[in-house]
Structure formats: C-alpha cells, structure tokens
C-alpha cells in the first residue's frame, strides 16, 4: 500500500515520532532505522521494514527502487512525505531521504548458538548509544556471533544506537539479558571462555590463552565491571597504557581485545 502524508498532525506521523522514546518502542514493538545503506543492509539480511517512509522529490536510486519493490511485495506500507515531516520523525534537522519502521527482534539468550562463531562480544551496563553502535560494528568486523548486553544497558533499538551501528544491528545476533541469567547459561557444560580486560591478577592481552568460543566482556563506561563479574571470568587480561590516560574507551577496548582474540584463535 502506498500513500502520501503532508500534515504534521497525521496520526501516523505522531506514532512514528513516538518511536524515538523507549516506552513507546516497547509498547509498539517497533523501532526506526534511517538511511538507504542501512535499510539495504537490513534487506540483504532478510529483514524488511513494515513501513517505508520516503521524502517527496528525492533523487532516484536503483537500490531504493529495489527496496520499494521488496517492501511492497512483502505487504508493507510505503509513505511519501515532506522533508520537514521526515525530520520530525527521525529527530534530525537534515534527515536522509528514507527511513524504515521495523519490528523489534527476539533478543532472548535462549536463541544463541554459542558455537556458531569463535568469538562473541559482551557489554555490561553500557550507557552510551554510540558505544553500543560501535560494539555492534566491531562484532560485524571481526566476524563475531553477536553482541550480548548484560544488565541495564542503553536501548539498542534507540534511533541513536541504530544509527551508530551503521547497519550492524541487522547483521549481528543481539541479546539482552542479566548477569544472573548469563553466567549459569555460560557455565552449563557446553563450553565458553569469559574474558575481560582487568588489572586484577591479569596477564598481558597479547598472546594470552584464548579459547573458542570466547566471550569478550567490557563494563560500564565510567565504573568498569563489578568486582564479582571480573572474578567470575576465566581469563583477565591487561592492555598497556603508555600515556597519561589510565583506561581506554569501553568500546575501543572491546575492539582492541576482539582483534587480538581473533588473531590468536585463527593463528
């Protein structure tokens, strides 16, 4: 179905704008994703938006034509609207010419096959959507199985986190769980090494004895990992800090460690 919307007071516009807030996303089970590249990545991974919203007078593009056709064939809705209304929906003054409305994914731990990949990333109490998006991109780059979010993390389906993921939210297995569920799952006898950057009885991160499947865990941006979480790890590693800074950004630390783990597992 295709239709045009030109009024800010249209109920559909109000609904789409509301998806920028977590409580409304959870109520509707929907989230927004913006940009042709991101939506194309989603389509390539078998995920199509329920609703495709496009700016009137946009430049023609073959990928957009393919996306429109796929959404239409899947029974989705295509909406054409003004740049101003699209800006209201996405919360950006200069929005891209297209955005999509997707159903939220199943993010339960039960759906994880730990042996589907040699490496997984884990973030505990991560609060910054940019860092979460960066970790999703890192997971994609190193061929990880996905990203497991532990405890009270920022909503991965927020507009900011989805945007920061640059499409990786559609390529990675995303899990939301709590420590008291995650640790028993990891210790259920099916294998899995838990690794964290730490100063507590840690060994150098270069060439450490990593094992498959390896779960690389980083903590909250300001507090790091709780002590009992660190003590539960199979391996604690340290990265040298040669300047005045005493730590790396959480997402950067995860990326550095993930590439070292990958090199060791593939070596």
Q: Mean of the pLDDT values across residues 79-103?
A: 89
User: Do 262 and 177 sit in the same domain of this protein?
Assistant: yes
Percent of the chain with pLDDT over 90: 84
What's the pLDDT tens digit per position in 218-254? 999 989 999 999 999 999 999 887 777 767 889 999 9
Q: Which of 86, 103, 120 is the last residue of a domain?
A: 103
User: Do 207 and 221 sit in the same domain of this protein?
Assistant: yes
User: Do 63 and 143 sit in the same domain of this protein?
Assistant: no
What's the confidence (pLDDT) of residue 225? 94
Whether the link from the prior residue into 255 is cis, omega within 30° of 0, is no
What's the confidence (pLDDT) of residue 146? 97
Would you place residue 96 in the very low, low, confident or very high pLDDT band (cuts 50, 70, 90)?
confident
Report whether pLDDT(94) > 80. Answer: no
**Domain CATH number, residue 192:** 3.40.1280.10
- With a CB cutoff of 8 Å and minimum separation 6, the contacts of 195 are 208, 210, 214, 215, 216, 217, 233, 234, 235, 236, 237, 257, 261
User: Do 51 and 146 sit in the same domain of this protein?
Assistant: no
Q: Mean of the pLDDT values across residues 36-45?
A: 93
User: Do 233 and 121 sit in the same domain of this protein?
Assistant: yes
User: Do 120 and 250 sit in the same domain of this protein?
Assistant: yes
Q: Mean of the pLDDT values across residues 105-110?
A: 94
What's the confidence (pLDDT) of residue 76? 97
User: Do 117 and 152 sit in the same domain of this protein?
Assistant: yes
The CA distance from 157 to 174, in Å, is: 10
State the total domains in the chain.
2
Range with the lowest mean pLDDT among 12-16, 91-95, 164-168, 220-224?
Answer: 91-95
**85 class by beta-carbon count within 10 Å (0-12 exposed, 13-18 middle, 19+ buried):** buried
| Domain around 121 | 109-266
**Dihedral sign (CA 94, 2, 158, 27):** positive
Q: Which of 213, 215, 214, 195 is nearest to 204 (CA)?
A: 195
Q: Mean of the pLDDT values across residues 32-42?
A: 93
Would you place residue 90 in the very low, low, confident or very high pLDDT band (cuts 50, 70, 90)?
confident
Residue 36 φ/ψ region, left for φ over 0, alpha for ψ in the -120 to 50 degree band, beta for the rest: alpha
User: Do 126 and 86 sit in the same domain of this protein?
Assistant: no
Q: Which of 62, 88, 103 is the last residue of a domain?
A: 103
| Helix ranges (DSSP H) in the chain | 11-18, 22-28, 36-44, 62-73, 83-90, 129-141, 159-165, 168-171, 179-186, 227-231, 250-266
The CA distance from 106 to 122, in Å, is: 17
Q: Which of 103, 129, 146 is the last residue of a domain?
A: 103
What's the confidence (pLDDT) of residue 158? 96
User: Do 120 and 40 sit in the same domain of this protein?
Assistant: no
Task: Give, in order, the Cα–Cα distances in Å from 54 to each of 2, 129, 163.
Answer: 11, 25, 17
- Which structure tokens are listed for 13? 């516009």
User: Do 128 and 214 sit in the same domain of this protein?
Assistant: yes
What's the pLDDT tens digit per position in 141-184? 999 999 999 999 999 999 999 999 999 999 999 999 999 999 99
**Dihedral sign (CA 148, 153, 159, 164):** negative
Cβ-based neighbour number of residue 107 at 10 Å: 18
Average pLDDT across the chain, whole number: 93
């Amino acid at each position: 179905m295709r239709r045009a919307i030109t009024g800010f007071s249209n109920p559909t516009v109000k609904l789409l704008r509301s998806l920028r807030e977590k409580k409304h996303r959870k109520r509707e089970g929907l989230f927004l994703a913006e940009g042709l590249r991101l939506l194309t990545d989603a389509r390539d991974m078998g995920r199509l938006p329920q609703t495709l919203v496009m700016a009137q007078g946009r430049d023609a593009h073959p990928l957009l034509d393919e996306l429109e056709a796929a959404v239409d064939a899947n029974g989705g809705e295509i909406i054409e609207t003004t740049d101003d209304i699209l800006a209201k929906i996405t919360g950006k003054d200069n929005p891209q010419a297209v955005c999509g409305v997707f159903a939220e994914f199943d993010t339960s731990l039960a759906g994880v096959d730990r042996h589907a990949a040699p490496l997984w990333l884990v973030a505990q109490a991560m609060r910054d959507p940019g860092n979460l998006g960066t970790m999703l991109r890192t997971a994609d780059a190193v061929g990880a199985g996905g990203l497991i979010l532990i405890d009270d993390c920022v909503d991965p389906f927020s507009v900011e986190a989805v945007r920061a993921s640059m499409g990786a939210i559609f390529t990675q297995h995303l899990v939301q769980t709590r420590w008291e569920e995650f640790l028993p799952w990891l210790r259920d006898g099916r294998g899995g090494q838990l690794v964290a950057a730490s100063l507590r009885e840690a060994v150098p991160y270069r060439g450490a004895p990593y094992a498959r499947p390896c779960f690389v865990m980083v903590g909250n941006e300001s507090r790091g990992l709780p002590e009992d979480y660190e003590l539960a790890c199979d391996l604690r590693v340290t990265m040298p800090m040669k300047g005045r800074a005493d730590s790396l950004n959480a997402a950067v630390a995860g990326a550095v460690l993930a590439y070292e783990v990958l090199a060791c597992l593939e070596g």
